[in-house]
């Protein structure tokens, strides 16, 4: 326990007055006053000695309920304090430290007088930012009975970590079932018996490699057919999160970046509940790939990864979609973006060339008070390339925006 002991303003004043009075009494020859001035000098020194020899001994145990909560929700922090020093006559003033996104912590005073004691103190925190935050340590100040000296110390006990995840909304599945394929999408056909020799085909699309053309099925169907690698009974989706700081509008929980993070978390939760395979990539690189982990375990992996995801200083969305192998195996691509340039849109078009379903959740630039002709052109390019483009405004509930995708 680290301690710092010093005189208070009152103690310094009394000590200075006592010294000056002692000097004056000695000069004037008033020896009868010296014992009084000596007491004035001695009192602050005795106060210092008392705090040095019998300092407060405080320990703290802290719990956050819940220890993991979505952005914007409120947690209750309870601090159980124990003072083992019986010689603390004055009040103890505590500060339970916390970072600014948690409100900076709490301050409170406990006045119990002499004797050992235990007491619990609770307060609420409402996070304004995703991440992992330490609540604590507990610092305190105490004085002697006359408030002539003060000791500042850090209470024994480890900080408590509070994890703030993106907010996850319950979403309805889209028509078309697994892989988020909307009704009317081209559905792959299976040729042959189940096993390692299965061949999956679909209609040829612009951008498909000519080497993947299945000539026998092309002749049979009388239209160009290409082989697929993915299996419709084991669907996969790739979620693209645009975490470029320069592309987003607003800050904190009400900014477009946090909206996009929450949207990706919500779509990922939907996919996990459906047993789909998924991967999340961002402008700063891969975020989460649960692999064969499914259900609630996969959902928790996604939340943990998105909790720690910071904003990126990169300026081109294309850096998020440079993993051709990952994107080639995706039956569906969902992108939650900030403001787009035509170059960003072109990168998304190329990334989604082989996907059955392509969805872009983009900010409504006018609603965000950030009109951008280039963003409008980028959205038009996506629509003309077969993407479903759904705009979102400040404060738009994600389920409402998601239902717009299905319409």
Query: What does the pLDDT read at residue 228?
Result: 63
Angstrom distance (rounded) from CA 111 to CA 279: 55
Q: At what angle do helices 373-384 and 342-351 cross, to 10 degrees?
A: 20
Query: What does the pLDDT read at residue 183?
Result: 35
Closest CA to 142 of 80, 56, 210: 56
Query: What does the pLDDT read at residue 215?
Result: 81
Structure-token pair, residue 285: 């690189």
Q: At what angle do helices 256-273 and 398-406 cross, to 10 degrees?
A: 60
Distances from the Cα of 39 to the Cα of 50, 241, 243, angstroms:
16, 71, 67
Angstrom distance (rounded) from CA 309 to CA 284: 9
Query: What does the pLDDT read at residue 406?
Result: 76
> Per the confidence metrics, is the pTM higher than 0.85?
no
> CA triplet 283, 289, 290: central angle to 5 degrees?
155
**What parts of the chain have a pLDDT lower than 50?**
175-179, 181-198, 230-234
Do the bridges between strand 138-143 and strand 117-125 make them parallel or antiparallel, or are there none, so unpaired? unpaired
Query: What does the pLDDT read at residue 341?
Result: 97
pLDDT for 366-382, tens place per residue? 999 999 999 999 999 99
Distances from the Cα of 15 to the Cα of 28, 30, 45, 51, angstroms:
20, 19, 8, 17
Indicate the SS3 state at residue 211. Answer: helix
Query: What does the pLDDT read at residue 206?
Result: 65
Structure-token pair, residue 340: 């787009």
Query: What does the pLDDT read at residue 136?
Result: 87
DSSP letter for 168, please.
-
Angstrom distance (rounded) from CA 115 to CA 92: 13
Q: Annotate 268-284 with b (16+ C-beta within 10 A) or e (fewer).
A: bbbbbbbebbbbbbbbb
pLDDT for 193-230, tens place per residue? 333 344 567 777 666 667 778 888 888 878 888 776 54
Query: What does the pLDDT read at residue 238?
Result: 93
Angstrom distance (rounded) from CA 239 to CA 331: 11
């Amino acid at each position: 326990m680290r301690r710092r002991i010093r005189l208070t303003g009152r103690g310094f004043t009394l000590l200075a007055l006592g010294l000056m009075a002692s000097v004056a009494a000695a000069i004037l020859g008033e020896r009868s006053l010296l014992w009084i001035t000596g007491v004035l000098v001695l009192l602050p020194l005795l106060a210092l000695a008392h705090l040095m020899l019998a300092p407060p001994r405080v320990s703290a145990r802290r719990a956050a309920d819940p220890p993991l909560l979505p952005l914007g929700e409120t947690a209750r922090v309870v601090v159980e304090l124990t003072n083992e020093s019986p010689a603390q006559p004055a009040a103890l003033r505590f500060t339970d430290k916390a970072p600014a996104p948690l409100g900076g912590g709490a301050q409170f005073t406990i006045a119990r007088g002499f004797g050992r004691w235990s007491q619990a103190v609770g307060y609420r925190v409402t996070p304004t930012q995703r991440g992992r935050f330490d609540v604590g340590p507990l610092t305190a100040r105490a004085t002697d009975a006359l408030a002539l000296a003060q000791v500042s110390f850090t209470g024994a006990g480890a900080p408590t970590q509070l994890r703030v995840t993106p907010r996850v909304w319950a979403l309805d599945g889209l028509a078309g079932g697994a892989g988020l394929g909307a009704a009317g999408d081209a559905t792959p056909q299976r040729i042959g018996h189940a096993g390692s020799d299965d061949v999956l085909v679909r209609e040829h699309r612009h951008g498909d490699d000519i080497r993947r053309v299945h000539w026998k099925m092309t002749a049979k169907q009388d239209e160009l057919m290409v082989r697929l690698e993915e299996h419709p009974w084991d669907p996969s989706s790739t979620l693209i999160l645009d975490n470029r700081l320069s592309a987003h509008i607003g800050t904190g929980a009400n900014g477009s970046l946090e909206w996009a993070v929450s949207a990706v978390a919500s779509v990922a939760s939907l996919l996990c509940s459906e047993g789909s395979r998924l991967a999340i990539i961002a402008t700063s690189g891969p975020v989460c790939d649960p692999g064969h982990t499914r259900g609630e375990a996969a959902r928790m992996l996604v939340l943990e990864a998105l909790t720690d995801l910071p904003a990126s200083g990169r300026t081109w969305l294309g850096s998020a979609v440079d993993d051709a192998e990952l994107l080639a195996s995706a039956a569906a691509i969902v992108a939650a973006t900030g403001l787009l340039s035509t170059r960003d849109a072109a990168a998304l078009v190329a990334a989604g060339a082989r996907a059955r379903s392509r969805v872009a959740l983009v900010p409504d630039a006018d609603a965000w008070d950030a009109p951008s002709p280039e963003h409008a052109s980028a959205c038009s390019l996506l629509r003309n390339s077969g993407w479903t483009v759904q705009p979102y405004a400040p404060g738009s509930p994600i389920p409402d925006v998601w239902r717009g995708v299905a319409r």
